[in-house]
Amino acid sequence: MKLGIVGLPNVGKSTLFNAITNAGAESANYPFCTIDPNVGMVAVPDYRLDKLSEMYNPKKTTPAVIEFVDIAGLVKGASRGEGLGNKFLANIRMTDAIVHVVRCFDDENVIHVEGSTDPIRDMDTIDLELILADAEMVDRRIDKAQKAAKGDKKFLHEVEVFSGLKEWLNDGKSARSYLSEVSEDDAALIGTSELLSLKPVIYAANLDEDGFADPQAVPYYKQVEERAQAEGAQVIPVCAKLEAEIAELDAEEKAMFLEELGVKESGLDRLVKASYTLLGLISYLTSGEDECRAWTITKGTKAPQAAGKIHSDFERGFIRAEVVSYDDLMACGTMAAAREKGLIRSEGKEYVVQDGDIILFRFNV
Ligand code: GDP
C-alpha cells in the first residue's frame, strides 16, 4: 500500500518527504517494501504496540509501516506532457491514494510558482491536471468499448457509462465524485479503470510554525478545510519544516517539543494515521519475549488470511486463533491473568480480525 505525495512545486513536498525518511522505519524488517530513493517508509504510530512492548520488554518491537512516494514535478500543463508531465502521472497511477500537499504559508524567500499563496487555486490546478489526464484515458476506454460492442452488444453499456463520466470530467469534476451519481454496478465498472482522480485523497495543509500551533486562526487553512469538507475528504495540518526536525528526535524529546508547541501529536503522525485509515487498513498485534509486532491487514480480513501475513504456512495450516482484545489484556495486566479470567477466545476460520486484537495463531506444519 502506497501513498503518493503530490502538489505544486515549492509547497513543501520534499521537506515532508524528508521528514518521512528521517522518521524512517528500519527497512531490514520489511522485505516486501520497495527500495527506491523516492519511496519512504514510516512507522504507523500505535499506542497499543508501545504498551505491549512495555509489558513484554521484547528484543525487538516492529511497528506497521506504510510507504510514501515523492511525486515531484507535477505542474500546470503536466497532462499535456509539460515538464516531465506524463512520467509523473504514471507514477501517481501506481499509488493507492494521494496526499495532496497544499501551501498554506507565506514566505517571500520561497517563490510560489503562481506568484502568491492561494490554496484553492493550487488545489484546482492539481485537480485539473489529474482530471485532464483521466479524460484522455476515458476516451481510450470508450474507443475500446465501442470496438468491442461491434462484436458483443453488452459493451454498449460500458460505452454509455464512460461517456457519462467523460462529460463529468469535462466539467472539471473528479471521477471520485461521480461514483455517488451512478449505480453500484456502474461505480464498480468505473473502478476497473486506473483513473487518477478516482484515488482517495488526504490534504496536507502545510503551515508555518505559528500557523501549525493554531491552524484554525489561519485563513488559508480554513479555505482548505472548507473545500475538503465539501469533498468529504480529510485535511491534516502539518508544518513540513518542523516535521523534518521532529522526526530526528527520540520519543521523549519529541513529546517535550510538541508540548512546548501546544499540540498533542505531530502533523506527520496524524497524517500517517489518517492515511492508514483512508486505505481501509487496521493492525493486529503479536506479542512475545522476542518480538512485539503490529501487522497490517485490510478491514474485514479473516483469521487465516491475517495469519498468512506472518507466513504462508500459518495460513495453510491454520487451526485456530487465540485472541484477546487490547483492553482486556490491559485490564488484566498479564496474558496469564487474561487466560485465567477466560478472556482469551479461541476463534476459527470465519473470525474477522478486529483492530487491536492480540493474537496467537495455532497451526499445523
Ligand atoms: P517542493 O517543491 O514542494 O518539494 O517543496 P520543498 O519541500 O522543496 O520546499 C520548498 C521551500 O519551502 C524550501 O525552501 C522549504 O524550506 C520551504 N518550506 C517547506 N515547508 C515550509 C514551511 O512549513 N514553512 C516555511 N516557511 N517554509 C517551508
CATH number at residue 169: 1.10.150.300
Total number of domains constituting the chain: 3
The answer on 150 and 109 residing in a single domain is no
Residue keyed to cell 512495555? 54
Distance in angstroms (rounded) separating the CA atoms of residues 132 and 80: 8
From the CA of 113, how far away is ligand 1's center (Å)? Answer: 12
Strands (E) across 212-287 are located at 234-238, 281-286
Judged by average pLDDT, the poorest of 69-83, 258-272, 301-315, 341-355 is 69-83
Surface-to-core class of residue 305, CB atoms within 10 Å of its CB (0-12 exposed, 13-18 middle, 19+ buried): middle
Q: Is 212 in the pocket of ligand 1 (CB under 6 A)?
A: no
> What is the residue range of 349's domain?
300-363
Mean pLDDT of 297-319: 96
Pocket test for ligand 1, best of 15, 21, 88, 107 (most atoms within 8 A of CB): 15
Other C-beta atoms closer than 10 Å to the C-beta of 62 total 19
CB 9 near ligand 1, within 6 Å: yes
- Convert the pLDDT of each residue in 156-190 to its tens digit: 999 999 999 999 999 999 999 999 999 999 999 99
337 in a structural domain: yes
C-alpha 40: how far from chain center: 13
Judgement on whether residues 78 and 183 belong to the same structural domain of the protein: no
In the reported structure, the alpha carbon of residue 165 is separated from the centroid of ligand 1 by a whole-number distance in angstroms of 36
pTM: 0.88
- Do 271 and 323 fall into the same domain? no
Q: What is the mean pLDDT of residues 304-316?
A: 95
**Mean of the per-residue pLDDT values of the chain:** 91
Q: Does residue 34's CB lie within 6 angstroms of at least one atom of ligand 1? A: no
The pLDDT of residue 87 is 73
In a domain, 36, yes or no: yes
Q: What is this model's ipTM?
A: 0.94
Residue 269 inside a domain? The answer is: yes
Mean pLDDT, to the nearest integer, of 37-57? 91
Residue 115: the pLDDT is: 78
Shared domain check, 256 and 152: no
pLDDT tens readout for residues 124-161: 999 998 999 999 999 999 999 999 999 999 999 999 99
